[in-house]
Protein backbone atom coordinates (compact mmCIF):
# COMPACT_ATOMS: atom_id res chain seq x y z
CA UNK A 1 0.00 0.00 0.00
CA UNK A 2 1.31 3.43 -0.80
CA UNK A 3 -0.02 6.91 -0.65
CA UNK A 4 0.41 9.62 -3.24
CA UNK A 5 2.22 12.73 -2.18
CA UNK A 6 -0.11 15.41 -0.89
CA UNK A 7 1.46 17.82 -3.34
CA UNK A 8 2.89 16.29 -6.54
CA UNK A 9 5.45 19.12 -6.72
CA UNK A 10 7.05 17.98 -3.47
CA UNK A 11 10.16 15.91 -4.01
CA UNK A 12 9.91 13.80 -0.89
CA UNK A 13 10.32 10.15 -0.30
CA UNK A 14 7.16 8.26 0.56
CA UNK A 15 6.57 6.90 3.99
CA UNK A 16 5.81 3.20 3.65
CA UNK A 17 3.37 1.35 5.88
CA UNK A 18 4.67 -2.19 6.45
CA UNK A 19 1.66 -4.41 5.91
CA UNK A 20 1.37 -7.98 4.68
CA UNK A 21 0.01 -8.37 1.15
CA UNK A 22 -2.94 -10.41 2.43
CA UNK A 23 -3.85 -7.57 4.83
CA UNK A 24 -3.66 -5.02 2.00
CA UNK A 25 -5.93 -7.22 -0.11
CA UNK A 26 -8.41 -7.68 2.75
CA UNK A 27 -8.57 -3.96 3.49
CA UNK A 28 -8.95 -2.84 -0.11
CA UNK A 29 -10.01 0.77 -0.46
CA UNK A 30 -10.50 1.10 3.31
CA UNK A 31 -6.75 0.73 3.74
CA UNK A 32 -6.15 3.43 1.16
CA UNK A 33 -8.66 5.67 2.94
CA UNK A 34 -6.87 5.22 6.27
CA UNK A 35 -3.49 5.82 4.64
CA UNK A 36 -4.79 9.06 3.09
CA UNK A 37 -6.13 10.22 6.47
CA UNK A 38 -2.82 9.38 8.12
CA UNK A 39 -0.97 11.28 5.38
CA UNK A 40 -3.19 14.31 5.98
CA UNK A 41 -2.52 14.14 9.73
CA UNK A 42 1.24 13.79 9.18
CA UNK A 43 1.24 16.71 6.73
CA UNK A 44 -0.59 18.77 9.35
CA UNK A 45 2.01 17.78 11.93
CA UNK A 46 4.80 18.88 9.61
CA UNK A 47 3.04 22.21 9.02
CA UNK A 48 2.65 22.73 12.76
CA UNK A 49 6.34 22.09 13.31
CA UNK A 50 7.36 24.60 10.66
CA UNK A 51 4.80 27.19 11.72
CA UNK A 52 3.83 27.85 8.11
CA UNK A 53 0.28 26.48 8.11
CA UNK A 54 -2.54 28.54 6.67
CA UNK A 55 -6.01 28.46 8.21
CA UNK A 56 -7.23 26.27 5.33
CA UNK A 57 -4.34 23.83 5.81
CA UNK A 58 -5.05 23.63 9.53
CA UNK A 59 -8.73 22.97 8.84
CA UNK A 60 -7.73 20.16 6.46
CA UNK A 61 -5.38 18.72 9.11
CA UNK A 62 -8.14 18.87 11.72
CA UNK A 63 -10.62 17.17 9.39
CA UNK A 64 -8.19 14.41 8.42
CA UNK A 65 -7.05 13.82 11.98
CA UNK A 66 -10.65 13.69 13.22
CA UNK A 67 -11.58 11.16 10.54
CA UNK A 68 -8.55 9.04 11.41
CA UNK A 69 -9.29 9.17 15.15
CA UNK A 70 -12.92 8.20 14.60
CA UNK A 71 -11.90 5.16 12.58
CA UNK A 72 -9.16 4.15 15.02
CA UNK A 73 -11.62 4.40 17.91
CA UNK A 74 -14.02 2.20 15.94
CA UNK A 75 -11.28 -0.41 15.44
CA UNK A 76 -10.55 -0.35 19.18
CA UNK A 77 -14.23 -0.57 20.13
CA UNK A 78 -14.94 -3.35 17.64
CA UNK A 79 -11.93 -5.23 19.02
CA UNK A 80 -13.34 -4.93 22.53
CA UNK A 81 -16.66 -6.38 21.36
CA UNK A 82 -15.10 -9.45 19.75
CA UNK A 83 -15.82 -12.72 21.58
CA UNK A 84 -12.09 -13.35 22.10
CA UNK A 85 -11.78 -10.00 23.93
CA UNK A 86 -13.82 -11.37 26.83
CA UNK A 87 -10.77 -13.50 27.69
CA UNK A 88 -8.54 -10.43 28.10
CA UNK A 89 -8.13 -9.64 31.80
CA UNK A 90 -9.06 -6.19 33.04
CA UNK A 91 -5.44 -5.67 34.07
CA UNK A 92 -4.21 -6.51 30.56
CA UNK A 93 -6.95 -4.37 29.07
CA UNK A 94 -5.91 -1.42 31.26
CA UNK A 95 -2.32 -1.85 30.07
CA UNK A 96 -3.40 -2.07 26.42
CA UNK A 97 -5.54 1.07 26.77
CA UNK A 98 -2.83 2.95 28.72
CA UNK A 99 -5.02 3.28 31.79
CA UNK A 100 -3.86 3.47 35.40
CA UNK A 101 -6.41 1.07 36.82
CA UNK A 102 -8.10 -2.14 35.86
CA UNK A 103 -11.33 -0.78 37.36
CA UNK A 104 -11.31 2.02 34.78
CA UNK A 105 -10.75 -0.51 32.00
CA UNK A 106 -13.61 -2.64 33.33
CA UNK A 107 -15.89 0.41 33.47
CA UNK A 108 -15.00 1.51 29.94
CA UNK A 109 -15.58 -1.98 28.57
CA UNK A 110 -18.93 -2.22 30.35
CA UNK A 111 -19.98 1.22 29.05
CA UNK A 112 -19.04 0.23 25.50
CA UNK A 113 -20.87 -3.09 25.66
CA UNK A 114 -24.02 -1.31 26.83
CA UNK A 115 -24.02 0.94 23.75
CA UNK A 116 -25.32 -0.20 20.36
CA UNK A 117 -22.79 -0.95 17.64
CA UNK A 118 -22.25 2.15 15.50
CA UNK A 119 -21.72 2.52 11.77
CA UNK A 120 -17.96 2.96 12.09
CA UNK A 121 -17.70 -0.20 14.20
CA UNK A 122 -19.58 -2.04 11.46
CA UNK A 123 -17.15 -0.49 8.97
CA UNK A 124 -14.24 -1.77 11.09
CA UNK A 125 -15.58 -5.33 11.03
CA UNK A 126 -16.52 -5.15 7.36
CA UNK A 127 -20.21 -5.63 8.08
CA UNK A 128 -21.53 -2.34 6.72
CA UNK A 129 -24.58 -3.17 4.63
> What are the structural domain ranges in the chain?
21-125
Q: Are 90 and 102 in contact (CB under 8 A)?
A: yes
Other Cβ atoms within 10 Å of 105 Cβ, number: 23
CA distance 33 to 18: 16
pLDDT of residue 123: 95
Q: What is the pLDDT of residues 8-31, one digit of tens each?
A: 556 567 888 899 999 999 999 999
Question: In the 3-class helix/strand/coil scheme, how is 48-88 assigned residue by residue?
Answer: HHHCCCCHHHHHHHHHHHHHHHHHHHHHHHHHHHCHHHHHC
pLDDT of residue 1: 47
Q: What is the pLDDT of residues 82-124, one digit of tens each?
A: 988 889 999 999 999 999 999 999 999 999 999 999 999 999 9
Amino acid sequence: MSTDLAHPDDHQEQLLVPLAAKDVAELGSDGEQLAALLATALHGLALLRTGRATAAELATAIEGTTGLLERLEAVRDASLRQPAAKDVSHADLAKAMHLESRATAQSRRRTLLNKPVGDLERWATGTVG
